Amino acid sequence: MKLIFKIAKAELRNLFYSPIAWFLTIAFIVECAFSYTKLINQYASQQEMGGMGLQYMRQLTYSVFTSQFGLFGGIMQNLYLYIPLLTMGLISREINGGTISLLYSSPVKIREIVFGKYLAMMVYSFILLFVIGIFMMAGIFDIKSADYGMLLAAALGFYLLLCAYSAIGLFMSSLTSYQIVAAVSTFVMIGILSYIGTLWQGINFVRDLTYFLSLSGRTHHMLGGLITTKDVIYFIVIVYIFLGLTIYKLQSGRETKPWYVSAGRYIAIVVFALIIGYISSRPSLIGYWDTTTNQDNTLTPNAQQIIKELGKDKLEITVYNNFLDNYSWFGLPEQRNEYLERWEPYLRFKTDIDFHYVSYYDTPLALGYDLFGSYKGKTMKQIAEQRAKGSDLKLSAFETPEQIHKEIDLKPEMNRFVMKLTYKGRSTFLRVFNDQMTWPSETEVSAAFKRLLQANMPVIGFVTGDGERKTSKKGDREYKTVTTDKTSRYALINQGFNVDTLSLSTQEIPDNIKALVIADPQSELSAVAIQKIQAYIAKGGNLLIAGESGRQQMLNPLLKTLGVQLMNGMLEQESEDYAPTLVLPHLTKAAIGFSKSLDRPSVDTLPVSMNGVAGLSYHDTSGFHAQPLLVTKAGAVTNTMKRNPDLDIVNNKEDANAGQAGGITVSSGGYARAVHVMSVGGEKLQKFGAKSLVKPSALTPKNTNTSKDTFITALALTRQIGGKQQRIIISGDADLLSNSELGRYEPQVANFYFSTALFSWLDYGEFPVNTSRPDAKDNRVTVSTDHVAFLKIIYIYILPGLILIFSAVFLIRRKRK
């Protein structure tokens, strides 16, 4: 061991007695300084400007240090340029100078020589780690509540990558007497190891081996704050391979052995390393350490609990991949390892998931364009053959339409890429979605797992028969997007709900209905329907009632029993860009409390779009506690007596008295007061009594002042009945859940979040599964742009300048000696 340290010390002396080590160290400092100060100045400037930009300042530790464009991300992309320049002379210098013969004849063992030189590189790598550690410490002071764990994990990944590059460079240096050739060979070998993970991915066994050997993305987990035994062992194996090859290469110069003996040694090293790597990458043998503050790389407690309930029973996931579908690349053999990586967070807690893959070709039913029109005159088989040839695949690897039809009917899934989950005789489908994220998130996966565990999923029943909004239609006014659209992530069926329809004229309301939805009937509800609904309410059933201006008389008889009325007329909001019928009320604190998805700075200030909305008035609520959910801004909205231009039904006089004055006790935030509700010329909704005991903010959205001309457009009613809280939501507009409003891009609205929150509240929060995480605390910087300018001078000029002066004096004195 002493000899190893002596050799390492001598090698470090050689490194720093030449300008190359000093030059690379200074260049590394300057590169780190430029990257860090640029990023920290960017966020300091964004913070000083304020406004909407502050909403995007989150997880700054990740953004500044470990993201693709962060300090570590940028440095690691260029790291291969540093190490070969240092390792190129480690052994080639000995070979070129003839001193290798002296080493062979000395009592020093070959492995001691190799370990000593490699130890020297480990020390120099630690110096580079110390340099980047300077900026890590700066980040801890410059970023509010920086995530220390993420930084330490990233530093470990950085150091292991340096050690791997050093081992590769050491081996390449042993192959030639020319240092330049050794450096170029190191570049090439690093490139090969980075690229090898994309080779032969269509061959099952070879795919696993080449993917394991790949350097590409090996530090990805550690940069994100997740340390796994699989990744750590990988770097150890790479170091073992190249140090072992170096030892045997030098050993062959000392002794004479047949070529097959030498080749056998090399093969044995590689094979043994691959065996270790293969075993260590088995899901049941991988250890995980999430170093992040909020455990960002770990499933949330709710998701973990659901997986725990699955127990040790077998879970099978079968991929059905239609080669002609837009998302077929998910299921191609070349993408198999990336597919499994997406499941790694779940394999961490259930290691025995069994994956199966079925590839086929059939007519895609949700392609978005005419497939046969794009391939005129060709049959489906000919189209598949042409695509397979272009993708360098064999059509024989895909099942024909006839074969897949015998196995399973995928038409209900529109012949898209889909995963079938099977567990203890139950099965459900997990889908990909038409959005930027595409892949199902932890929420959708958890909902699918829960479907396998529960025999009875919550059912949302939609009333039909009187022209109500339909759950199966794609028209602007319909409700398919929010209910049954399998390509929509936030559709109820993808969030754990079952959706059913029922006609109250011919059907009874089933006991398994979690919530009943009555959305904009176009004709008056029959006495039988009202009787069934009232009986459902009397039993404590949850309900969502959505009306529409111009059709107030259809629902007011029913709403009258709840003490609520749709006001005459239609609310209008003046706008330079949009029709006055588009009203944009804001969320109240009560509405924001429905879901954590609403209680976020970027969401809780967004309005909800309501096109053609009637105001709500209420008085005697029959024991229900009323809470406004959506309220217009003071003075921004007026109530006109115009008929909704989108409706063909003229207002009748049945609700002429809607909104007349009455008394109601409304509470919010622990206060209560009497509110007088009245309609004066259709323009006033509320007039607060002089003896108010409630804070004015109780009936207004967040950051909105109370005014007489604010209108309530949605409210919630609650009461205790039968040992549970009954929940009812009433909206003056049915369009807020419609396909058109959920697809609205401008103005930016919260309809998607709000619609999900409504059904979550009606379901008592069971679905969607809550997989939210605490907000990251590292959302601000503690420095100003002026201070960053000062830091630039220190990091970019003074610190490298001092090292340059020191190195110059050191080298000059050394030369004189």
pLDDT digits (tens, 9 = 90+) for 57-108: 889 999 999 998 999 988 998 888 888 888 898 898 888 777 777 777 777 8
Q: Considering only CA atoms, which of 788, 789, 791, 805 is closest in space to residue 26?
A: 805
Q: Considering only CA atoms, which of 560, 520, 483, 557 is closest in space to residue 731?
A: 520
* Predicted confidence (pLDDT) at residue 32 exceeds the cutoff of 70: yes
Total-model pTM:
0.85
pLDDT band, very low/low/confident/very high, at 168 (cuts 50, 70, 90): very high
Residue range 729-749, pLDDT digits in tens: 999 999 999 999 999 988 999
Helices (H), 311-350: 336-342, 344-347
pLDDT band, very low/low/confident/very high, at 27 (cuts 50, 70, 90): very high
The pLDDT assigned to 700 comes to: 36
The pLDDT assigned to 501 comes to: 95
CB 543 within 8 A of CB 729: yes
pLDDT band, very low/low/confident/very high, at 702 (cuts 50, 70, 90): very low
CB 202 within 8 A of CB 334: yes
> Strand 663-668 to strand 671-680: parallel, antiparallel, or no bridges (unpaired)?
antiparallel
Structure tokens given for 756: 């999900």
- Number of neighbouring beta carbons within 10 Å of residue 556: 21
Q: Angle, nearest 10°, between helix axes 259-280 and 204-213?
A: 90
Amino acid at 726: Q
The pLDDT assigned to 251 comes to: 85
The pLDDT assigned to 644 comes to: 60
Mean pLDDT of 166-173: 94
Mean pLDDT of 566-572: 94
In the block, tokens 């979040």 appear at: 753
Who has greater pLDDT, 371 or 655? 371
The pLDDT assigned to 414 comes to: 94
Mean pLDDT of 701-728: 77
pLDDT band, very low/low/confident/very high, at 656 (cuts 50, 70, 90): very low
> How big is the CA angle at 748 (ends 753 and 294), to the nearest 5 degrees?
50
The pLDDT assigned to 667 comes to: 36
pLDDT band, very low/low/confident/very high, at 211 (cuts 50, 70, 90): confident
In the block, tokens 């170029």 appear at: 184
Mean of all residue pLDDT scores within the chain: 87
Residue range 277-312, pLDDT digits in tens: 888 888 899 999 999 999 999 999 999 999 999 999
Worst-scoring range by mean pLDDT, 472-486, 656-670, 771-785? Answer: 656-670
Residue range 130-148, pLDDT digits in tens: 999 999 999 999 999 999 9
